[in-house]
Structure 1
């Protein structure tokens, strides 16, 4: 199932299709259900994203329970595969068949909301009243820049710890119980490790992503999300620091081309000292690298903002639904505290409802590998934010990655590289 930000929608065709819609799918019914504050009645569709294979019984149970509580409503559950989900949303938008309740991440909800297809939960009395049930971080995570509100009920959250190799820290004379918390501490530790290992041990396996710029404290975009600003002095400062790491062997030699899988393998082979991961990795370490497993530390990714990174999923309500009241009631039902906590006990995700993470399940290590990571990750969600701009497409991420590589190789200065990346991404944004 999708645990992180998924492929962004290509906004141009989606918006073109959505804006071309007429009143198709926005009819009215006679019982008032087409109003957000109307009668909770009617047949609605509920679409998830690659969840049926593993959670069929859970969602069928949710639907049965909701229909039992609301006998005038019938819910049809749809589930789409992870592959081409964005294209499916685009097709539904163009055909006027967008489901009444749809599973979205903020990057997917943005073009739909911009086209007027999703309900603004902050501006609708029937939905705004629920805001206090969710954590401020989760509600804010579904708030879209320039559109004046949140466009999805917060659903499950995720974050990821950073694993580090205590043995490599000891060998470099670094305190294994005090991993770097800020970027300055990270750069200092990385330089020390490279120097004392004679360039044989790198600290990191990858180049900086947009999330790194965000955690460093760089302003990524202007206030209305119409222009990228990561080429400002603080962004140049970060890339300059990474260039120095690369030149001194503190970044893996293949950092420019490493995929997440390759970076994970480097960490498994104990060639790099730090790498992000999840609970499933611990079993691999235990089986294939017992010495690493014995010396494994878990911390959060360094940041200068005091706010870790967070991924957020939500349930949006179709603003043109014939049965808005029923759609709102169901979206709220799925994302209420009881049902979110039940879902989070079945898979490595975290509920977005207020006070849920105070439960011992997320605060007390039960001695299992899963519990160890679960507790460490849950701590990170306090004050966490989604750093990746919702308007940043995969193509824009590739543009940034390629320009970063040119800077690390010395083909361009950090300023020139970031200026080029921002300019190209701005043009792509205008085209969308």
Structure 2
């Protein structure tokens, strides 16, 4: 029977926005699970960053082919880095000796730190390499303008390092254009192997990893959230402007003092496109109490709005979800293995839908399942923010 969606609206308060997104972006052709998009890449676009309401953002997109920024929003404003600083920790470690000299234990730590954002590995290197002195070294080596060690009140908190979007671009440009090939290949090779589920159980394939098809490489950051999903049964807008970044260096003490340590932070950084054409840095802060799934969705929408030369976008329809602990399964049945759980309330990309096992979540009953290509699995349509059992405009698999 068709679900009574007025109850869903009362429970979530998000149906009108989610439904509008479905109806405005739905594809019209039939599709098969895992099928690749065949549309021609879109033409170059002007700066277009759309910062969701309530979000504070620092954004920089740099086109390495033209040598110019295509997006800048508060690009010199320092944010607390969260796990993005792990790139600097890794670079400091291999700066004078290269990755081949690392012990097996340290190499394993770096791999875990860059791929799965392992915090214990970062803390190990932070403690053994001088804490804030590590940041001072990297600021001098890379000519960073807005980066500073954590405030004196929190010397052991590597995630409180101050970092701006433009400095993040500088770090990636060093890796791609200046670093010794062995360093470039080691660090970037790890970032290309970013795992969906981070070591602490957060789904880290938001932002760049969700907005664009591979090739990409990412280092994400998050801080101040209580839960990030990604567990399995086994375990106010600012106008952007194009052009180059110009500006004076920010004093380190000033940068550290200016960083907001309270609001939840969610950052997506990395490179996108063939030949790592574009460097993307999106640093965000969210209102206190924002659920991870809401921030995940807002960062995704912001990232998808950006002019990123060389990027291709996955085919499908972005649809909101509701509920918590929603499982993505290998097949359209609850008897199949659970691949992961979704961050509560996160938008998902749906490429097609198919009939499968009938699922009952009173008062709803539904036998339609959505295929999520980025998870390579299915979720019951019950938890999609749609007015019908079969989502309008989404093709049948």
For the criterion TM > 0.5, the same-fold answer is no
TM-score scaled by structure 2? 0.24
TM-score scaled by structure 1? 0.22
Higher radius of gyration, 1 or 2: 1
**Higher-strand-fraction structure:** 2
**Higher-helix-fraction structure:** 1
